[in-house]
Amino acid sequence: MRSNRAKARAGVSLAATLPLLTGALALGIPAAHAADNPGRDALAGTKPVWATAKADKGATSNSAQVSARVYLAGRDAKGLAAYAQTVSNPASPLYGRYLSAKQTQQRFGATKAQVAAVKSWLKAAGLQITAVTQHYVAVTGDVSAAEKAFGTQLHNYAKGSKTYRAPSQTATVPEGLKGAVLTVTGLDNAPHKASHKDQLPPPDAVFKNAGPFSSYYGSNTATTLPDAYGTKIPYAVQGYTGKQLRAAYGAGSYTGKGVRVAITDAYASPTIAFDAGTYAKKHGDAAYASGQLRQVLPGKYTKTKECGAAGWYGEETLDVEAVHAVAPAASITYVGAASCYDDDLLDSLGKIVDGHLADIVSNSWGDIEANETPDVAAAYDQVFQFGAVEGIGFYFSSGDNGDEIAHTGTKQVDTPANSAWVTAVGGTSLAVGKGDKYQWETGWGTEKANLSADGKSWTGFPGAFTSGAGGGTSKTVAEPNYQKGVVPNTLATANNATGNRVVPDIAAIADPNTGFKVGQTQTFPDGSQQYSEYRIGGTSLAAPVIAAVQALSQEARGGKAIGFANPAIYAKYGSRVYHDVTDTPTGSGLAVARVDFVNGFDAADGLATSVRSLGKDSSLSAVKGYDDVTGVGSPAPGYVTSWSRH
């Protein structure tokens, strides 16, 4: 999983008033007064940290164009956060008393007067209004008009090897709009985009796995290859199926009947209906009923080359097929974004909330926390809070680069998985044995060593780190109350003595070496497009698997929505409903052998043989109890039915 997106969090801590998520919230509510700009109120976090005096290259041309969004705080931002917490807390008498989308807007959305006032202010500054939604007012105009509206100069700043525009001071709004504006995005024009998080080959070129394989973990031992950790090792599985995953995570007889799951990604696969139907038939999953799989798509797509639109097709395919394999009776709504940029992804999430299209939302995309900016994070958190009030839970993959040091040089977590308002899904390596019996899981972290030229040893065993579940301690998000008493203090205080959010919350299969089989239409070397299957992994797999398990759980509790799940997930900590995942479940090192096509398709260019050690996730470790690879653990038998007791 890679990530590439920027967003932001701003504002006021509600530690004194919100007992459930004490200190976790930064809502971007305008400050009471901006001392350096009398008569104006500051929108905290709107000046990015990279816009420093040293990087300043001078004023942006007045004629340059700006496209921005002014997000609306609504009539009761504090009340929204408070109700979202209360309704999600199993200990609260209001637990599960969700509001409809209409009721939520009526109670917490922006008033007509607020919208009119915001529009009037923006027009008066010379900006042109291009869109008005329940969440924001979009505008365009030249730099001089934007500077007038937001009370700050726009300058050009060096950021890495490139130069971008950004406010030279925190943006402000007229004091008369105090409380009406949540934040503004778009004043800086650094790329704010996401990448899907998985181990996917490009769908426009065929990818196949070479054999030999195991049909279940350990079924085919690599007897002719060197030992690893003092023993012969099995070949990697060909790819688990829904039947094996359902057994591993205690699905029982539940199928997700009557539950609605949504999936968000950018763009949309043109062959998803054929691929999903073909895959289900080939692997014994239930056939899709009429209307069970549908897509909600934008009117047009943008930035298709910049975002690598075709690369997202496989992401949708994985997410849809994984949800259906584990929860075959759940309805699936795919909500595609117009691009991989934050604004468009926010629009997709907003569609789900505004129309209450689902109760459970799987999201396999994100970026590193260093790219997070407070303005956009505030907009995301508001959507998540609206969802919580309606009984909608959001599940985000935690990342595929471990602690991110190898990828970025800096130890950090991914975002939006770092939000205190979402369920961050970590990853495991899964062993499902003969008869679909669960054997064990390790934290997902892979080290790779290649077979020596003489075939008698593994060169540099155990080799270099290749990928692993994202996790660790946030540098920007305060510790939510639901994590206190569960997350070890050494993790919570790693970046802040008062404690910060730790990722992930829960975990499921992610390791591509013990991965899931998917089917997708791909382009073959002769130019033909054919359906083909391959093994896949990443926390892009873990997120839809957990979303599907949550669908089973919602069915088990009579269809009552689970909503924002974290308070209840942590309330179950330490019970038998979780597999307490560690890196050494058998007491010794674990590894599998892989044989891959060098060209990714056939043996024409030869084969590459390697050993993949399991449970080696950068500096992160899966240990007894809560850990920053697998959170509280993975679902065990009893997890699904445990939700009926809430």
pLDDT in tens, 503-549: 999 999 999 999 999 999 998 888 888 999 999 999 999 999 999 99
For the residues 467-485, what does the mean pLDDT come to? Answer: 97
Pair of tokens at residue 602: 């056939």
- Average pLDDT score over the chain: 92
**List of residues 6+ apart from 598 with CB closer than 8 A:** 605, 606, 607, 608
pLDDT of residue 194: 85
pLDDT in tens, 262-292: 999 999 999 999 999 999 999 999 999 999 9
pLDDT of residue 34: 38
| Domain assignment of residue 392, yes or no | no
Q: In what order do the strands lie in the sheet with 591-597?
A: 464-468, 445-450, 607-613, 591-597
> Per mean pLDDT, which range of 50-59, 204-213, 493-502 is the poorest?
204-213
- Residue 490: φ, ψ to 5°: -65, -30
- Residue 117: φ, ψ to 5°: -65, -40
- Residue 194: φ, ψ to 5°: -115, 155
| Domain assignment of residue 87, yes or no | yes
Report which residue type is found at 168: S
Q: How are beta strands 464-468 and 578-579 bridged, if at all?
A: unpaired
CB of 417 within 8 A of CB of 399?
Answer: yes
Q: What angle do CA 390, 396, 398 make, to 5 degrees?
A: 150
Answer yes or no: is pLDDT of 25 > 50: no
Answer yes or no: is pLDDT of 15 > 50: no
Tell me which H or E stretch contains 85.
Answer: helix 77-88
For the residues 60-71, what does the mean pLDDT come to? Answer: 96
For the residues 462-474, what does the mean pLDDT come to? Answer: 97
| Domain assignment of residue 186, yes or no | yes
Cα dihedral: 323, 328, 333, 335 (round 10): 20
Answer yes or no: is pLDDT of 578 > 70: yes
pLDDT of residue 197: 53
| Domain assignment of residue 123, yes or no | yes
Q: Give the distance, in angstroms, between the CA of residue 511 and the centroid of all CA atoms in the same chain.
A: 16
Q: How far apart are CA 594 and CA 234, in angstroms?
A: 9
Q: How far apart are CA 478 and CA 188, in angstroms?
A: 25
Answer yes or no: is pLDDT of 24 > 80: no
Which is nearest to 222 in space by CA: 237, 207, 208? 237
| Domain assignment of residue 585, yes or no | no
User: What percent of the chain is predicted at pLDDT more than 90?
Assistant: 88
Q: 3 falls in which pLDDT band (50, 70, 90)?
A: very low
Q: Is the previous residue joined to 191 through a cis bond, with omega within 30 degrees of 0?
A: no
pLDDT of residue 205: 77
Total domains in the chain come to 1
Answer yes or no: is pLDDT of 7 > 60: no
Answer yes or no: is pLDDT of 243 > 70: yes
User: What percent of the chain is predicted at pLDDT more than 70?
Assistant: 93
Which is nearest to 198 in space by CA: 399, 465, 342? 399
Q: 26 falls in which pLDDT band (50, 70, 90)?
A: very low
Q: 38 falls in which pLDDT band (50, 70, 90)?
A: low
Q: Read off the pTM.
A: 0.93
Answer yes or no: is pLDDT of 11 > 70: no
Pair of tokens at residue 453: 């030229």
pLDDT of residue 203: 52
| Domain assignment of residue 609, yes or no | no
Pair of tokens at residue 413: 């977590």
Q: How far apart are CA 250 and CA 246, in angstroms?
A: 6
pLDDT of residue 527: 86
Task: Compute CA distances 495 → 366, 412, 489, whole Å.
Answer: 21, 10, 11
Q: How far apart are CA 559 and CA 553, in angstroms?
A: 9
Q: 204 falls in which pLDDT band (50, 70, 90)?
A: low
Q: 181 falls in which pLDDT band (50, 70, 90)?
A: very high
Q: How far apart are CA 152 and CA 167, in angstroms?
A: 6
Answer yes or no: is pLDDT of 301 > 50: yes
Strand partners, 368: 414
Domain that includes residue 107, residue range: 40-195
Which is nearest to 595 in space by CA: 466, 457, 450? 450
Answer yes or no: is pLDDT of 35 > 60: no
pLDDT of residue 201: 39
Answer yes or no: is pLDDT of 199 > 50: no
| Domain assignment of residue 617, yes or no | no
Q: 92 falls in which pLDDT band (50, 70, 90)?
A: very high
| Domain assignment of residue 45, yes or no | yes
